[in-house]
Structures are given as structure tokens and as C-alpha cells.
Amino acid sequence: MDDNRIIKTEYSEEMQKSFIDYAMSTIIARALPDVRDGLKPVQRRTLYDMYELGIRYDRPYRKSARIVGDTMGKYHPHGDSSIYDALVVMSQDFKKELPLVDGHGNFGNIEGDGAAAMRYTEARLQKVTQEAFLGDLDKDVVDFVPNFDETEKEPSVLPVKIPNFLVNGSEGIAVGMVTSTPPHNLGEVIDAMKAYMRDESITTAGLMRYMKGPDFPTGGIVTNKDELLKIYETGVGKIKIRGKVEFERLKGGKTNVVITEIPYPMIGMNISKFLSDVAGLAETKKTQDIVDISNQSSKEGIRIVIELRKDADAENFVNLLYKKTRLEDTFGVNMLAICSGRPETMGLKAVLKANVDFQFQIATRKYTNLLAKEMERKEIQEGLIKACNVIDLIIEILRGSKDRNMAKNCLVEGKTEGIKFKSKESRIMAEQLRFSEKQANAILEMRLYKLIGLEIEALIKEHENTMASIYRYEDILERRDSMAQVIINELDSFKKEFARRRRTAIENLGEAVYKEKEIEETEVIFLMDRFGYAKTVDTAAYERNKEAADAENKYVFSCKNTGKVCLFTSTGQLHTIKVMDIPFGRFRDKGTPIDNISNYNSEKESIVCITSQTELNLRQVIFVTAQSMVKLVDGGEFDVSKRTVAATKLGEGDSVVSVMPLTEQRSVVLRTKEGYFLRFSIEEIPEKKKGALGVRGMKLGAKDAVEDAYYIKNGEEVIIEYKDKPLALNSLRPGKRDTKGTKKS
């Protein structure tokens, strides 16, 4: 290879340049809308292609696959799915305030079901798209640029006559920036734009007298009205929105909570998430008011019905939904758009200014072009009228000329050489003719029937209309007030035909307050069998079945139903469980696996001790580890709010063997894997913080480890089974902590 063709460059510089090029391409040519037409490139190209294909609102639908293929081949050389997705979204009335595409077939629904494949669906332009977005494309009002392979021309922006960036909103993720603009009511946006045109010094607060705030297609209630002014001044903020709820009172004191409108962010799969969240409130006992929940939504609208039990506080329950589910949600506003070729975060006034300036630009180009055409028409009309007055002379010139050029030269320049005239007077008159080039061509192409009296009258009338149009266009171009009035008249016509009533209410509502019902504190018995199934039962039920309960369960103790159960594990973790989260039922109920109601993982750790937090608060707790570390910890340290905390510090490779709340125990016996026993007084064990390692309980051999610990009260006989023989721990000679102990065979 020729060395001269190798370009040497710094790797970091090349990466930086390439990434910047990619980022700018994504920002400018893919992800962000233009503030003037409110469209991303894929949307603009799709609509323009439909316009080019003639798929108008008053013509038959065409297959979506045809539209997608044509757009991809001519203007948008990316994946077909991105084009079809854009087409689908522009047709969905639950996502767009003003759908731009009229879809025929399955174009998805509000519950998140996707559209059918493009080969099955059909589409055409909406009337508003045809008139307000594409109506003036044939009047050379916007610049056309070459497409990706320079075989076609496409508009750099559509001549949209309404502030579509505000009306339909926009969402997009670029590199290092995101746009998120809520939809607004068409009529209100037009009123705000007119107010700005009448007074460009108007404040954002003044504009918001016309445009109250966002208007989501799904309705709902905006709850932070007072914060909207700052959001629209800066273009950034958070809009809080709630679903709309109605109450249906039924016989027998029951109430149905019916959700008829949902927050805009809940569109799609979040509806099913909401239903599962509501069901979860019942399963986790956050509320016991729910009897049934059903989604009765249809094409007519949203209808989610939650049936409450008799005498439930429905309003308090709805406040729970607002706090714990997405029935109250947040829409993050970041009004970022391409303005003058660069991304810019814009407030309401800046957006309206950009749109008004754009309207004046396209109106100036439109009426400049229309004026030029009318001036050309005027020139030809005046030539034809003048020709009709001297038609006999013109016929004489035509009959006396040898060819078209000779006749044309006579009409334009008065040249009579070579033309046969009937008289000298005719030649003199012909020499005085001075028609323009265009007038001469029109005269030469004029048909004889145009000489009929009525046709001449029609020509004169047409000339009068042309002159009226010229005066009108000149007035529009010369006086800004006249052009503004034309723009306002167009806006009024769009408002009258396409605007609809507001769907989203805007209010100032305080934060939802849910009052938890005060639970009557009672004593219950916690039971957990050797398989890890836990439950709580009434104390009376336990007393009736005490013998069976003690025999069948590994852990049995009393606790308050408002308290917590503490679960210590071999890995040194403490998992707390609210007693209310443990299923309460009959004695013979199976219970629930302890894994399901806590963070305990039976595959990674084993349970060392379970007790009530109330019991711990009154005691000291002794810890014993496999590496023979022991310590006492004040039980109050385990009164924690988190579901999982570290209960003790462990050395490398160590694990917890025993945890015991102390009552009347006076001595502890440690047993090792190799059969060593050491009995010593608990008084020898120092009290430490839960984050401490502790002190050594007994000396261990190189491969030995503590396997168990036993606790003895004064005067109590404790007998264990060791190597198939009974062993009385009281008979062990008391020793000192940190000694080797006695080996038993």
C-alpha cells in the first residue's frame, strides 16, 4: 500500500471527533423535535411521504407497509420499526392531543398492547394534518434539502400553522439530554399564541390565563397548580398528576372505588402494574378493605373497579392508592427542542415566540410567491385586454407574417419588416406595438373563442380580481398588523374546527394523607415448624393445643401483634419481620415460608435464633461463633427500623453458632467438633457493641470449631445426648473462659 494514503492520527482525537459527530447526529437528526413544527425527523419524513403518495384524509387508506417502505427508501434510511412506531404513535389518541394520522386496523391500545404488523394495518392523513401541517407545501414556504442519497428533495421543516410542539408534546432521549414536553389543549395554545401576537411583552403568567397548563389525553387531575408558573417560565420541572376516582355506593353499605381517568405516565403496561400493586396492598396487609379488583376498561374508556368491604373508609383508601401506587404520578418536564439549529431548553414564552416568528416567515414567503404569481397574471391579463382592443390589427399581423418569430418580434418590438399589411396606417400602428415577452406569447396562444363578448367581460372581471389580490398581498407584506390578522384568522379557523374541551383538571391539592387504622394490641403466639413455615395464632388456640404445638414446632413464643420478630442467622445478619406480616389464623393452618415474609435466604444462611423484639429489649444477648468468639450485647441495640442489619461482626471464615437472650442463665457450655467441652460463668463474658468481634471463649485446636452452646440456670439439671449417651452438663467441672476444656469420648 502507498504510504501516502495512510493518515496518521491520535486515537483519542479520532474517538472524540467520531463521538461528537455521532452525538450531534442523534441530537439534531433523530431524537429531538424542531420547535417550529414540533416534529422529529422520522415523523416529518413519514408525514411528507404520505403527502407525496397522495394519501389524503378524503382518499382511501393505504397499507402501512407501503408508507413505511416508501419513507425508508426515499427519506429515512433506518429500521422499518422506527418508522412504523412513529406512524403508530401519531395515530394514538390516548398519547397525542391531536392525532396526525388516521389509522385503520389494530394500532394498539391504552393498556400497552402493541399495534398489529404493518402489513395488516392501513393509514391516511388526518384532516388537520392535511390543512395545518402540509397545506402550504406547494407554495415554496420552506426550504427543501437533498435526501440521504441526493436523489430526492425533502422539507427541512413542515409549514405547520399551529404550535404543535406544545399541542402534542414530545418525548425523546438524545446523547446527554432528554426532551419531555406534556401535551396541551389546542384551543388554549392558540389563544395563548394570539395573546402573544397582540402583546409581545406579555408575561408567562399572562399567557397562562389562556393556557392553564397541560391537557393530557387521558384526563386526570394536575395537583400542583401553583408550581406550573415556574415550570413554564423555565421549561423544567415536575407536574404531579392523579387519576380521577368516583365512588359507587352499593346496597348493604359496600362501596366501589371506580377509576375513570388515569395519570398520563400510567399508559401501557403500567396499568397492569397498578393492578398488581393494588393486589399487593391486600397481600401485604397494608389494607384489609379490598374485596375484589377488576379492569372493566373498553373502547369507551378507562374503568377500573375496586370493591371495598362493608363500612370501609373509601376516601382514606383512595389516599392510600395515591401514596402507594401510580394512581398519583409525576411527569418530568424538560421542554428541550431544536431552535435555530441547536438544542435549547425553552420556556412557554420562548416557544410561542419561535412559533410566531416561524408563522411570519412562512407567511412572508407564501404571500411573496403569491404576489409574484398575481403580478405575472396581471401582466398577461393586461396584454390580452389590450390585444382585444386592437384585435383586427393583430390578425392582420398574423396573416401577413411568414413565421411565429416574425409575428412575435412585431408584437414585442414593433418590427414590421417582411410583414404584408393591407394599408400604410396598419403598418404605422404595428410599429407602435410594445407588448412584453409574456404578453406576446399569451396573445399568440390565445384561442379565437376568447374574442366572444362574454369572454372578454370575464377577462376584465378576472383582471379586477387579480388587482384586488395584488392590493391585498401587498398590504399583508407591507403591514405587520395585516399579516398578523391573517395568521390569527387561520388560527381561529383551526380552533373552531379541531379544538375540543379540556380533559385534565388543574387544581391545588395537598399531599394525600392516609390514616392507618389503629390496631388493637393483643398477645399472639408465634409458631414455626422445622420446615420454616411460620404463623401466629390466638393465645387461647395455643393453650387448647399446647402439647401438639410444642411438639410440632421448632420455635414457640408469645409476642405482641403490633411488634416485630427478630431472626438471627449464621452469617451474622438480623432480619426483622412485622408480626402483622406473618399470617394469623387457625392452629392447623400451614403458615407461610419464613423466606417469603423476610429477607432471610435459606440457600445462603441458616437460622440460629428467633425471638420477639420486645423480649430482646429487656435482655442482654449472648453471641457464640464457630471460632469461639463470645460477647454480650444489650438487646436494645437490635431495636432497628430496617428489615436487615448486621447483628454482629465476624472474623474471616467465621459464622454464628448460638444467639441467646439471657434471663436466669448463669453459665454456658461450649462444645467443639472434636468433642471438647468447656463450662464457664457468663459473668466472664464482657458486654460489647453489636459491631465488635467479642473475646475468645475457649482455646481450639488447629482444625477444631465450636459446634454448639448450652446455657444452665442455677440448680437446673441439663442433660444432652452425646454420641448416643446421655451427658449431664451440670457434672462438668466449671472452668475458666479461654481455656481448652475437657474432651469427652
Total number of residues shown for the chain: 745
pLDDT of 225 reads 92
Q: Where in the chain is the domain with CATH 3.30.1360.40?
A: 244-326
Residue closest to 136 by CA, chosen among 417, 370, 432: 370
Place of cell 429531538: 32
* Weakest-pLDDT range from 47-61, 438-452, 628-642, 724-738: 438-452
Whether 458 shows a pLDDT value over 90: the answer reads no
Q: Are 55 and 124 in contact (CB under 8 A)?
A: yes
For 474, the grid coordinates are 401587498
Type of residue at 306: I
> For this structure, is 120 an active site residue?
yes
Query: What's the distance, CA 22 to chain centroid?
Result: 25
Average pLDDT of span 342-354: 93
Catalytic residue, candidates 75, 120, 449, 722? 120
CB 47 within 8 A of CB 168: no
> Residues 258, 302: contact at Cβ < 8 Å?
no
Are the C-beta atoms of residues 68 and 84 closer than 8 Å to each other? Answer: yes
Phi, psi values for residue 301, rounded to 5°: 150, 180
Q: Which residues contact 69 (CB under 8 A, 6 or more apart)?
A: 80
Provide the pLDDT for residue 436: 85
Query: Which SS3 state, helix, strand or coil, does residue 510 take?
Result: coil
* Residue 519 confidence (pLDDT) above 80: no
CA distance 491 to 499: 11
Alpha-carbon distance of 76 to 42, in angstroms, equals 7
Residue 429: all three cell numbers together: 400602428
Name the 3-class secondary structure at 108: coil
Which DSSP string corresponds to 526-580? EEEETT-EEEEEEHHHHHHTHHHHHHHEEEEEEEETTSEEEEEETTSEEEEEEGG
pLDDT digits (tens, 9 = 90+) for 269-292: 788 888 998 888 887 777 888 888
Enumerate the CATH 3.90.199.10 domain ranges in the chain, comma separated.
9-175
Fold observed for domain 9-175: Topoisomerase II; domain 5 (3.90.199)
Which carries the bigger pLDDT value, residue 206 or residue 111? 206
Helix (H) or strand (E) holding 456: helix 453-478
When mean pLDDT is compared across 2-6, 204-208, 420-424, 653-657, the lowest value belongs to 2-6
The class that CATH gives domain 244-326 is: alpha beta
User: pLDDT at residue 3 above 60?
Assistant: no
| Pairing status of strand 304-308 against strand 290-295 | antiparallel
Beta bridge partners of 615: none
Q: What is the DSSP-derived secondary structure letter of residue 215?
A: -
Helix (H) or strand (E) holding 194: helix 186-198
**Residue 272: closest CA among 287, 300, 286, 293:** 293
What value does the mean pLDDT take over residues 314-333? 91
The arrangement of secondary structure in 360-497, i.e. its CATH architecture, is Orthogonal Bundle (1.10)
Mean of pLDDT over the chain? 89
Q: Which residue has the higher pLDDT, 655 or 298?
A: 655
Whether pLDDT at 579 is above 80? yes
- What's the Cα-to-Cα distance from 577 to each of 284, 355, 372, 567, rounded to whole Å? 12, 59, 83, 8
List the one residue out of 528, 393, 332, 375 whose CA is nearest residue 463.
Answer: 375
Q: What is the pLDDT of residue 451?
A: 67
| Range from 423-427, 447-451, 597-601 carrying the lowest mean pLDDT | 447-451
Across 218-350, the runs of DSSP E, i.e. the strands, are 221-222, 236-242, 244-249, 255-261, 290-295, 304-308, 328-334, 336-339, 342-345
> Residue 514: which pLDDT band, with cuts at 50, 70 and 90?
low
* pLDDT over threshold 90, residue 299: no
- pLDDT band, very low/low/confident/very high, at 699 (cuts 50, 70, 90): very high
Angle, CA of 522, 526 and 529, to the nearest 5°? 165
Q: Tell me the whole-structure pTM to 2 decimals.
A: 0.73
Q: Exposed, middle or buried by CB within 10 Å (0-12, 13-18, 19+), for 151?
A: exposed
Query: In sequence order, what E strands does 385-512 have?
Result: 505-506
Residue 1 confidence (pLDDT): 46
**CA end-to-end span of the chain:** 86
Least trusted range by pLDDT, from 55-59, 514-518, 521-525, 634-638: 514-518
Q: Which is more confidently placed, 577 or 300?
A: 577
Residue 36 has pLDDT above 80, yes or no: yes
Per-residue pLDDT reduced to its tens digit, 185-229: 999 999 999 999 999 999 999 999 999 999 999 999 999 999 999
**Nearest by Cα to 695 from 619, 621, 624:** 624
Phi-psi region of 532 (alpha: psi -120 to 50; beta: other; left: phi over 0): left
126 confidence band (pLDDT: 50, 70, 90):
very high
C-alpha separations of 173 from 33, 194, 626 in Å: 11, 31, 54
Q: What is the mean pLDDT of residues 157-163?
A: 95
CA-CA distance, 425 to 411, in Å (whole number)?
A: 16
Q: What would the mean pLDDT of 720-725 be, rounded to a whole number?
A: 86
